[in-house]
Amino acid sequence: MLRRIAVAFTLLAFGPATAHAVEYDEWTPAAAPLVVRSAPVTVALPDGRALVAGGSAPNADGEYLPVATAELYDPQANAWAPAAPMSTPRQGAAATVLADGRVLVAGGTVKPGYWDTVSAELYDPRTNTWSPAADMGYARMFHRAVALADGRVLVLGDVTNGNDPGASQLAEIYDPAADRWTGTTPMRSERGGFAVARMAGDTMVESKVGQRHVQGRTKAGGQSQQRFARRRDNQARQAYEAATEHAARVLGQRLTALVTGGDHVAVDAVLGDPRLARFPVVAPWLAVPDPRRGVLEQAVADACSVRMSVTNR
């Protein structure tokens, strides 16, 4: 059953990765982070610094694995400094700054194969220390976390190929004063989202971002449950078909390479179409949350980047 169809787009050329800062509506070079990362959490701290933690980073063999390392960026000094590592490696976690200045980091995938976790932890920038927080009710990755006006945190969503497939629609609230998670009203529906783009070098020539309704879960049983399952399966199939048609139209006939990401099952279904099956798929597999225009643009930037190592002799 489809929740999200991943980003899929062509890739004809790579360019180097760069870090930038904004100043007076212009871009200026910023110091490069200490660690090359994919899908970390990034938050602005109350003192003006930025915390970057987790994500996946390449090992000695070049394989990207979830990491627990963290670092702090000081915009005044334009410099990065190591921060204390988390207790758990996390890629695709969610981070939120609490009212007292601490940072809640929850969920994420902890090892290859999309093994998402219920665990959470708290970072205190005043002491540069991490402490455990209560576990969420559901394992989640590439989800959303929002600080509420009363100091609590709303967490919702999930990528569907994790340990709790139903968590993509369920929501829960974290109370930092009580260190407790409480379930709340689930989202009423889900969306089968997709994004596709065709590239010429590093220029996006054509793209399409869209979604199709896929009905949420039901508590009904018996024949009602069976009718619901059939209806949901039909909606999911229609979402796959819509993504496939747009991908075939946007990608065209002549491709050098195809880069994909997001939900493995959905991507396999879309690329199983004879019009798309002949295209060569290349690394990296991109970590993609809910496909939106901004997510697509970031995916393009990630795919057009290469890791460069410089050795001084």
The average pLDDT across 115-144 equals 92
User: Of 252, 256, 251, 246, which Cα lies nearest the Cα of 291?
Assistant: 246
Tell me: pLDDT of 125 over 80: yes
Q: How far apart are CA 34 and CA 30, in angstroms?
A: 12
- Contact status, residue 282 vs residue 259, Cβ threshold 8 Å: yes
**How far, CA to CA in Å, does 188 sit from each of 28, 143, 185, 194?**
43, 16, 9, 20
Please give the residue that has the higher pLDDT: either 150 or 157: 150
In degrees rounded to 5, what are phi and psi of residue 174? -105, 130
Confidence of residue 119 (pLDDT cuts 50, 70, 90): very high
What integer is the mean pLDDT of 98-115? 88
Place of tokens 């994500």: 55
pLDDT at 310 over 90: no
Q: What phi-psi label fits residue 260: left (phi over 0), alpha (psi between -120 and 50 degrees) or beta?
A: beta
**How far is residue 4's CA from residue 263's CA, in Å, rounded to a whole number?**
7
Binned at pLDDT 50, 70 and 90, residue 74 comes out as very high
Mean pLDDT of the region 113-141? 91
Per the CB < 8 A criterion, the answer to whether 92 and 66 are in contact is no
What is the DSSP-derived secondary structure letter of residue 277? H
pLDDT of 212: 65
CB contact set of 84 (below 8 Å; sequence gap of 6+):
70, 123, 128, 129, 130
**H-helix or E-strand containing 223?**
helix 222-251
Instruction: Give the whole-angstrom CA distance, residue 176 versus residue 292.
Output: 31
Place 217 in a pLDDT band, splitting at 50, 70 and 90.
very low
